[in-house]
Amino acid sequence: MSNNFSSPNVVALAGGVGGAKLAVGLQKVLPPGMLTVIVNTGDDFEHWGLTICPDLDTVMYNLAGVNNPETGWGLQGETFNALEAMGRLGGEDWFRLGDRDLAVHLRRSEWLRQDIPLTQVTDRLRRSLGVSTTILPMSDVPIRTLVHTDEGDLPFQHYFVRRRCEPMVIDVSFVGASNAQPTEEVLQALDAADLIVFCPSNPYLSIDPILSVPGVRRMIRKSHVRRVAVTPIIGGRALKGPAAKMMREMGQMMSPITVADHFDGLLDGFVLDQADAVLHNAFDMPVLVADTVMTDLASKARLAQELLDFVYTLDAPAARSESTSDIALPTFSATSS
Ligand code: FO1
């Protein structure tokens, strides 16, 4: 990154709403085209005969500035006539697909049926919405997050939306990951990066699926650029989603330290929320204490700029060792299958 401080090539790893917010901030402060977001597709599922990619769409709608500001996912000013009609027909109506959102799922599914890879489909969709940032699915082949709970194994959206994250989580696995290959686009983006950012997304459900794609974890571990994570845990809570609840259920400390430990060997710096400033000496890497709660465009851009300024202060990474195994996962590991 030393030669490219004025316009670094940034690669962000993101899941849904929290990740999308930081991506919006980075897009705002970076020159157009200097951001690539690699997005979790473990949440994807087949529904109403369509392929739904919730995190890709959340990131895309946020970057396009057309997202529902209350939920963070879906479109603003959305209507749900199709959903209501589906309910009247006895169809599944627990997953709230909006009328205009439906057009994206129909178009994506149509293109996928024509054997156009998800990477290309995603690129077409984001260009249609005028998004200058490159959005890359973590993989072109289906990798599906399966949540192992005290009530049995649940496909991700059944755990997250249908069961509102109520079952106790025992473990998480990523079905299809071990046979998957990273896309050329993901490999090239990581190779060309000046900085890798772990967005404030759920480590177990949003970032681990990306790291489960064979080769990706190793590439990040060996990367010669700085790698920084922004905490998804603030004051012992996750602003959104079950990250903190999962930590408790897995016998972990509900703390940003748990997040840093989880990404052991993958990080050179950590962004801690000001609410947890007291912990700043407890990390074995440089820490930035910042207001990580992103409520509007200004706070997203401010955090993104503070993160870039912080990265500038970090020492250039020493050559990374080859010794650690690519498949060694940290504690409370999610497993690939
Ligand atoms: N999340 C919900 O909590 N309830 C929903 O009904 C819901 C519908 C939905 C429709 C389209 C879409 O792109 C996302 C949607 N989400 C919904 C969000 C999504 O399921 C989760 O936020 C992510 O998968 C977790 O990052």
pLDDT, tens digit, 9 for 90 and up, residues 93-152: 999 999 999 999 999 999 999 999 999 999 999 999 999 999 999 999 999 999 999 999
Residue type, 43: D
How many beta carbons lie within 10 A of that of residue 10, not counting itself?
28
Could you tell me the pLDDT band of residue 337, with boundaries at 50, 70 and 90?
very low
Residue with the nearest Cα to atom 1 of ligand 1?
Answer: 161
Nearest to 98 by CA among 110, 86, 83: 83
Average pLDDT value over all residues in the chain: 92
The topology (CATH level 3) of 10-42+143-313 is Rossmann fold (3.40.50)
Secondary structure (3-state) at 176: coil
* Closest ligand 1 atom to Cα of 53: 13
Contact 302, 257 (CB under 8 A): no
Contact 337, 147 (CB under 8 A): no
- Please give the sequence-ordered ranges of beta strands (E in DSSP) within 64-165, or none if there are none: 134-137, 144-149, 152-155
Which of 44, 59, 95, 159 for mutating ligand 1's site (highest number of atoms within 8 Å of CB)?
Answer: 95
What's the rounded Cα separation, in Å, for the pair 320 and 148? 34
Secondary structure (3-state) at 221: helix
Could you tell me the pLDDT band of residue 240, with boundaries at 50, 70 and 90?
confident
Nearest to 43 by CA among 272, 206, 196: 206
Residue ranges of domains in the chain: 10-42+143-313
Regarding the beta carbon of 182 and ligand 1, being less than 6 Å apart is answered: no
